[in-house]
Structure 1
Amino acid sequence: MKRKYLYLVVSLVLIGGIFWYMVPKNTAEGAPVEVIEEVKVTAGDVLIDFIADGNVRILSKDQFFNTSGVLEALYFDVGDVVAKGDLLAKLSTDDLALKIKQTEIAINTEIERQKESITNHTYDIQMQEAIIESLTKELQREMSLLETMATYPSIYTPNEHNDQLYKKEQLEATLDSEKNELQKLKNESQALNNLLIDDKKVILELLKLDLEKAYLYADTDGVIGTIHGVVNTSIGTTNAFLTILDQEQPMILSMVSELDIGQVTLGQKVLVELESDYGMTYEGRVSWISMTPTIDNNGIVSYEVEIILEKYPDTIRSGLSALLHIVLKERLDVLVIPNSAVKIVNNQQVVEVKVSDQIQERIVVTGLTDGVNVEVIQGLEEGETLIVRSLK
């Protein structure tokens, strides 16, 4: 009897449990709850963009010594600002001084040799002038005799007259030849003088160039990026001694997908976030778009785009990572509210405005939206409070 009673109790409990489970329950457990928030109408920006990655690139210019030697002095360190024309470094001039001395000795030797040649030419010219003077006097005597023969033809025979005429002509020919020789000697002498002057100028210029090659001057403005060498070590001419970075014009290089490249134009605004400068945004402009695609190993096609920064931090470095917001549309300094504050009533955009603890519906006209916030063109003023309802 007791066992039957126990079975009956267990059965009733099971039936009751099943009934409770199957009967619908009128409870709010798990049902959505309306959440009401108050937001202010604020002034702000609304923009539509697409995102791309990029890296900072700073143009650099290598600086080379034009001669090899031992580094004697270095006047700047990495990170220092330099101006075009600044003396950057200097090689030891000891070897150059020895070369200059040897060259000066060679110059003096050449000068003495050329002076001797000029002296010899001067003597030859003087001798030639004496010969010409003697021939001139002799020719004058023979011409005087020939005139006498012409004046007194009865005294001289025709043969004597002809012989005298022939002698005069021979003297004239000899005199002309000697005059030509004199002119030749004078020309050679002038050439030697000119050669002496020209050679000396050339050698002096070469010496100046050799001296200048020991000094390295900046050929551009910028910041010292790298230095390859230390004082008292040998420096060659093959590799750059140092690099100057053009900090005045840093840029961002980005590879833009073929899906987005059609939306990029020259001069387009880009907002840049540098990984090294968290929380800051810098404005730039698209300055170059490659016409040649880059295709990676996976067949993905992209195009290189260059962005010039209008402002940038002093800490900017080549290679830094950047996040780019390439702006497609934007509205600046407009009234902005959340998209969720706007609802459609009778085909009109309506918001709920809190006025003196009362909630009023108001028709508004909106503009550009980025999917989160929307521009308000008409119907609200900055500072007004809106009611935003949502289910959570």
Structure 2
Amino acid sequence: MSTELPAAPRGTAGEVAATFLKLGFTSFGGPIAHLGYFRAELVEKRRWIDEKGYGDLVALSQFLPGPASSQVGFAMGLLRAGPLGAILAFLAFTLPSAILLVAFAFGAAWVAGPIGAGVLAGLKVVAVAVVAQAVLGMARTLIPDRQRAAIAVVAVALVVLVGGVFGQVGAIVLGAIAGVIFCRAVIPDAVSSVRFPVSKTAGVVALSLFGLLLVGLPILAATVRAPAVAVFDAFYRSGALVFGGGHVVLPLLETQVVDPGWVSRGDFLAGYGAAQAVPGPLFSFSAYLGAILEPGPNGILGASIALVAIFLPGFLILIGVLPFWNSLRTRPLAQAGMRGANAAVVGILAAALYDPVFTSAVTGAPQFLLAVICFTLLVAWRVPPWIVVLVGAAGGILIGLF
């Protein structure tokens, strides 16, 4: 088994932490919007990775179980500053939303009232502009010819007509197959120099640990009957068995915490509503649930257990796959497949731009005008996304008041 030395990181842990802390406070709109914020900050502004490498990583994260945008962030931290960078990227991106949701669990219902509703509506509109910018930018690089444009259109159709995880994963798989068939004769692009610092030995260990926990935790929970183990098992399985992340995890979480009586259905829905109003990953909803579990563990301890457990499987399987993906993606056949998969990613983003991003945010002419303003600020004026977030929030409040 290969034990080759990983590629050297190219940045500092502090740089990664600061960058993802800013993203953690400003990335509203769900996982698809997060990918747009990441692209603007890490590809366009900071140039930590090229467009093709980023497209490859997004395609991989969409195919793996777990929270897609958090996996991309974890991998970018790993690329930039090694294992410490990966951990700090996760913590900095996740903790702002987790802390806000735990505060909500303790009674700080700051999202209530017309002002809070206006801010939430405005932030949904900002997500429209951010995702539209990401689709436009990625399309220029990842679908430069008719073959890949056709793959993207088929991916849009699959996601819109089939929907759910089957539509998304099916679009990636069919896109890769179509790439092998139709994109092999395409003049090869320069191979992205991105190489993640994970050895194959570390990858095998991570995949083994993922499987061991998935099988062993239910047995351990039934044997020792310790509440903390049962909670860790419930949230770990929720994170391990969901594809697409985000809203897809909600029915799994409801089964794990509402059905056994740990959380009431009313409290579950109230927390889900609050989760829509905070930046960062929707998986942070687990921190709220962990904080209110009955009989326990709950509070800060319960929130910490739930948060670590739900993210851990997605990160383990990502670490397990990355070293093999490092070598596989350099082969001509794999490159053709990735061309098709990347085109499908653009199609998935375009479909998400329509539903749920546009349909849930643009409910009338004022919201449409605000979306156009935000898009123009991003694309034509090159205004930083965090400023556009403030403009969208203020616009949402004005629309709500008048």
- The interval holding the TM-score normalised by the smaller chain is under 0.3
Query: Rg: which structure is higher?
Result: 1
With normalisation by structure 1, the TM-score equals: 0.18
Higher normalized strand content (fraction of residues) = 1
